[in-house]
């Protein structure tokens, strides 16, 4: 065969290899490489004055030195031991509480993040990136800051201010900066923000701080970019940002206290929520109770069941009611094969009880079920729950 024909066949075979995966092979994933500016490209614009950047070491600039998104002109972050940002400084020890404050240079937070595009909302949000690495480490990736984002709550009142105070490593009993994995669902903003997610327990604290020494805490607060209709565009290069970093001197003697702070912060946030939403009068629907027709739900039998069930949590029974309902009392639940698994009393049983942990009174709902025993019969009733919990002023319980 002529040499030219052999070369042609080889070329076709090579092209086929790269365009069509062989049988049984997976296609190679497409990899998007970051754009590299040409040598003759204009210089990168300078980011706004970052007050806390002055302490960063030259070896850590690989992770924090590059411009992120579109820095908000005139905005800067300062750090302090005080929630109001007074007496700012850039270096802290692990025995101190740390708070941050963003100054938007005379603009409101609402204007700085372009929230006008969203129209009227009950609340707003930013994303709060934080990364902790040993001083001088170059382990950070330039795109860490906008990957795997979560959301931090900003109230309407905060949005109209020219500054924003936020937690970095606060007194856990006073934690007030709330985060969520879902942007637009206010009920899910109940997790502490700042350094806590990285040091939520002893294991994660040990991984974050493997030994005594100085660590760099890298922070970027950023928002979305929007089109003219107020829809987020998702282009991180256009995200409005404010960045800063601080030096954190860790000592193992503070490890236990720091690691236990996350749960204390969660408890404090939950307690604050309960205080805000506490009932100060009996619910109007409480007086519209259903009168039981089944002996299993009669007070003589039900009250001892409730007391026994809630005693598992050392809760004290105060009173209960059964809500009104339509239809049959018992609803049968079946598996995919049509075989009954249990039957459940249709109405919920609402109870008021006292919790000795904080001496609070709470309203919650229980359900009653009976497991299927076969042959059309069911076992003894049992209770489950407690759900739909809400605090109530003990003085209002009648």
Q: How far apart are CA 164 and CA 216, in angstroms?
A: 22
Q: Which is nearest to 225 in space by CA: 214, 212, 215, 234?
A: 234
Under 8 Å between Cβ of 159 and 115 = yes
Phi and psi of 28, rounded to 5°?
Answer: -70, 135
CA 306, CA 319: separation in Å to the nearest integer? Answer: 10
pLDDT, residue 26, reads: 32
pLDDT tens digits along 115-152 = 988 888 999 999 999 999 998 887 766 788 888 889 99
Q: Identify the bridge partners of residue 78 per DSSP, sorted by sequence position.
A: 101
- pTM strictly above 0.75: no
Query: Exposure of 374 by Cβ count < 10 A (0-12 exposed, 13-18 middle, 19+ buried)?
Result: exposed
* Percent over 70 (pLDDT), the chain: 83
Q: pLDDT tens, 16-42?
A: 433 333 333 333 333 333 443 433 333
Coil, strand or helix at 53: helix
Characterize the bridge pairing of strands 360-374 and 377-378.
Answer: antiparallel
pLDDT of residue 61: 35
- Reported as type and span, the H/E element at residue 270 is helix 255-277
Q: For residue 317, what are the β-bridge partners? A: 353
How would you write the pLDDT of the chain (398 residues) with one tens digit per residue? 444 444 444 444 444 433 333 333 333 333 333 443 433 333 333 333 333 333 333 333 333 457 899 999 999 999 999 999 999 999 999 999 999 999 999 999 999 999 988 888 999 999 999 999 998 887 766 788 888 889 999 999 999 999 999 999 999 999 999 999 999 999 999 999 999 888 989 999 999 999 999 999 999 999 999 887 878 888 899 999 999 999 999 999 999 999 999 999 999 998 888 888 999 999 999 999 999 999 999 999 999 999 999 999 999 999 999 999 999 999 999 999 999 999 999 999 999 999 998 899 999 999 999 999 999 999 999 999 999 999 999 999 98
| Domain boundaries defined on the chain | 51-277, 284-396
Q: What is the pLDDT of residue 12?
A: 41
User: DSSP string covering 211-266, please?
Assistant: SSEEEEEEEEEE---B-TTS-B---GGG-EEEEEEEEEEE-GGGHHHHHHHHHHHH
For residue 338 the two structure tokens come to 């049509």
The first and second tokens of residue 39, run together, are 């040598």
Name the 3-class secondary structure at 337. coil
The alpha-helical segments, DSSP class H, found in 121-185 are 156-159
Looking at residue 367, its pLDDT comes to 97
């Amino acid at each position: 065969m002529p040499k030219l024909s052999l070369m042609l066949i080889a070329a076709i075979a090579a092209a086929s290899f790269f365009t069509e995966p062989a049988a049984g092979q997976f296609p190679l994933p497409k990899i998007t490489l970051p754009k590299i500016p040409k040598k003759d490209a204009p210089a990168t614009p300078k980011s706004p004055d970052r007050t806390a950047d002055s302490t960063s070491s030259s070896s850590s600039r690989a992770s924090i030195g590059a411009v992120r998104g579109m820095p908000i002109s005139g905005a800067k972050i300062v750090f302090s031991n005080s929630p109001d940002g007074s007496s700012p400084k850039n270096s802290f020890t692990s025995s101190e509480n740390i708070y941050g404050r963003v100054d938007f240079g005379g603009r409101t937070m609402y204007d700085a993040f372009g929230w006008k595009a969203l129209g009227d909302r009950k609340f707003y949000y930013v994303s709060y990136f934080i990364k902790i690495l040993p001083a001088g480490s170059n382990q950070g990736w330039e795109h860490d800051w906008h990957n795997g984002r979560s959301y931090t709550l900003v109230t309407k009142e905060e949005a109209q201010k020219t500054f924003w105070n936020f937690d970095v490593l606060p007194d856990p009993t006073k934690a007030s900066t709330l985060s969520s994995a879902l942007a637009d669902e206010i009920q899910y903003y109940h997790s502490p923000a700042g350094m806590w997610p990285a040091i939520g327990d002893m294991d994660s604290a040990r991984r974050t701080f493997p030994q005594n020494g100085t660590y760099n805490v890298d922070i970027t607060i950023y928002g979305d970019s929007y089109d003219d209709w107020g829809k987020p565009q998702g282009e991180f290069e256009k995200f409005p940002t404010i960045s800063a970093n601080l030096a954190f001197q860790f000592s193992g003697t503070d490890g236990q206290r720091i690691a236990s702070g996350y749960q204390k912060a969660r408890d404090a946030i939950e307690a604050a929520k309960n205080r805000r939403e506490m009932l100060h009068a009996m619910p109007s629907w409480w007086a519209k109770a259903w009168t039981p027709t089944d002996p299993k739900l009669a007070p003589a039998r039900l009250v001892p069941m409730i007391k026994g069930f809630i005693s598992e949590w050392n809760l004290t029974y105060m009173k209960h009611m059964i809500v009104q309902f339509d239809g049959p009392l018992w609803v049968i639940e079946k598996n995919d094969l049509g075989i009954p698994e249990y039957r459940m009393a249709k109405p919920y049983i609402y109870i008021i009880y006292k919790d000795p942990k904080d001496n609070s009174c709470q309203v919650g709902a229980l359900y009653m079920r009976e497991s299927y025993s076969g042959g059309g019969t069911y076992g003894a009733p049992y209770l489950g729950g407690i759900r739909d919990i809400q605090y109530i002023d003990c003085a209002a319980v009648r």
